[in-house]
Amino acid sequence: MARKFLYLIVVLIVLVLAGAFAYRFYAVQLMRQFMVPGGEVAALPPPDRAAYARGDMWIARPDKPGNPALWTPAGYQPAAKPAAAVFFVHPTSFLDTQTWNAPLDNQDANNRAALFLRGQASAFNSVGEIWAPRYRQATFGAFLTSKASAGKALDFAYRDVLAAFDQFVIEAGDRPILLAGHSQGALHLSRLLVDRVAGKPIAKRIVAAYVVGWPVSVSADLPKMGLPACAGADAAGCILSWQSFSEPADPALIVDTFDATTGFTGQPRAGTPMVCTNPITGKPDDSAPAEANLGTLIPDTNFQSAQLVIGRVPARCEGRGFLTIGASPPDFGQYVLPGNNYHVFDYSLFWANVRRDAERRLAAYKK
C-alpha cells in the first residue's frame, strides 16, 4: 500500500511538471485556444452623447461615493484640492470567452476595473481629480487573435472612450490635464491622442500622457500622436511609456503582433524601436537600481489592499524598448504573463515613483 502511494505521488509530480512544461512552452497557444471568443462580434450602437454626463457611467469621478481612485497606501493621502484633472482609461477587466465586448453592467468586470484603479489611477490623486469611465471594453481574448471581430470589438470600445473624453474636457474646465491608461486603456489613449490632441489647442494643456503597458513606435506612431516622448524627468507636454519584464524576458507575445501592424503614420511598425521611459527616473532609455525605487505596491492575497515596499525593484530600458526589472520578484507570481511579462504590475511596481513623476511634471508645466 505504501509503495502504491509513493507511485501515485510520483505520477502526480510528473503530471505537475508536465503541466508546467506545457504552460512554459505552449502558454500563448493555450491562451489563444481557450480565451478567444468563437463567434462574430455583435454590432454595438454608438454611445449616447449625453451618457457620460451621468455619474453612473464613471468608475471614478470627483463626486463619486467610494471612489476607488482615492485609495492610497499607508503614509500617503490624496490632495485636498488638486490642481489638475486626470483622465484615466482602465485596462482589460473583462475575461468572457463568449462575448467580444463587455456589457456596462457586468459586475465582475467592473469590480476588477475598480481594483485596477486602486493600484494604478491612485498614483495620480496627489496632482489631479480623477475621471475613469466605464466603457464597453473588448474582452481579453481580442488581444490574442488577428480575427476581424477583435478589431471591431476594440473599435466599439474606443467609441465609448472618445465620448467619455469629450465629456471629461467639459468637466475639467480650464485646468491642466494628465492623460493616463494601461494596456487596452493605453491603446485607446494612444488613438485618442491622435484624434483629440494632435494639432488641437488642448495639446497645450496636457501635462503628460502615460501610455503604459502598450507599445508606442518611435518612428511609426509618435509623430502622429501630437506630443513628443518625454526627454527628461522635468519635461512636460510629453508621452511616457513602458512595458515591464523580469529576466529572462521573452516579449514574443507582444512583438509578433506589434510587428505585423501599421503605425499611425502609415509606416510598418516591424523592427522599430519603442518608447521606453524608466518610471524610476522619468528619463528615456535609462537604468536605475532598486534602491532608487521609492515604493512598490505589494498586493495582499485577494488584491483588496497592498503595502508599499521601498527599494525592491530595479528598472532598465533595453533592446527595442522593453523595461526589465531583473530577477522575478517573489510577490507577484500567479498573475505574471508568459515570457516573464509583468504587464499587470506596470504601475504598481513603481507606484511611488509614478506619483513623484506626475508631481514633478505638473510643477514643470506650471512654470
Residues 15 and 70 in one domain: no
Residues 187 and 140 in one domain: yes
Task: Specify if 317 maps to a domain.
Answer: yes
Residues 262 and 344 in one domain: yes
* Three-class secondary structure of residue 27 per DSSP: helix
Task: Specify if 141 maps to a domain.
Answer: yes
Residues 151 and 22 in one domain: no
- Longest CA pairwise span in the chain (Å): 79
Task: Specify if 83 maps to a domain.
Answer: yes
Query: Could you give phi then psi for residue 184, rounded to 5 degrees?
Result: -55, -35
* pTM (two decimals): 0.90
Confidence of residue 32 (pLDDT cuts 50, 70, 90): low
State the chain's mean pLDDT as an integer: 89
pLDDT (0 to 100) of residue 22: 42
Confidence of residue 321 (pLDDT cuts 50, 70, 90): very high
Task: Specify if 303 maps to a domain.
Answer: yes
Residues 213 and 181 in one domain: yes
Q: What is the pLDDT of residues 229-276, one digit of tens each?
A: 999 999 999 999 999 999 999 999 899 989 999 999 999 999 999 999
Residues 115 and 23 in one domain: no
Residues 21 and 162 in one domain: no
| Sheet containing 238-240: order of strands | 58-60, 128-133, 84-89, 177-182, 206-212, 238-240
Confidence of residue 31 (pLDDT cuts 50, 70, 90): low
Distances 28 to 75, 147, 194 between C-alpha atoms, Å: 40, 16, 31
Task: Specify if 2 maps to a domain.
Answer: no
Q: How does DSSP assign 292-350, residue by residue? A: G---EEEE-TTSS-EEEETT---EEEETTTEEE-SSPPTT-GGGPBTTTB-GGGTTGGG
| Mean of pLDDT values over 1-21 | 37
Residues 156 and 285 in one domain: yes
Residues 175 and 51 in one domain: yes
What's the CA gap between 53 and 290, in Å, rounded? Answer: 43
pLDDT (0 to 100) of residue 148: 85
Task: Specify if 213 maps to a domain.
Answer: yes
| Mean of pLDDT values over 184-200 | 98
pLDDT (0 to 100) of residue 75: 94
Query: Could you give phi then psi for residue 119, rounded to 5 degrees?
Result: -95, -10
User: Domain residues for 16?
Assistant: 8-37
Task: Specify if 290 maps to a domain.
Answer: yes
Residues 354 and 335 in one domain: yes
Instruction: Tell me the chain's radius of gyration from C-alpha atoms.
Output: 21
Residue 333 has pLDDT above 70, yes or no: no
pLDDT (0 to 100) of residue 302: 63
Residues 31 and 117 in one domain: no
Residues 29 and 152 in one domain: no
- Domain count for the chain, please give it: 2
From first CA to last CA, the distance across the chain in angstroms is 79
Give the closest residue to 180 by CA, choosing from 232, 235, 241.
241
* Three-class secondary structure of residue 91 per DSSP: coil
Residue 78 has pLDDT above 90, yes or no: yes
Task: Specify if 248 maps to a domain.
Answer: yes
pLDDT (0 to 100) of residue 107: 94
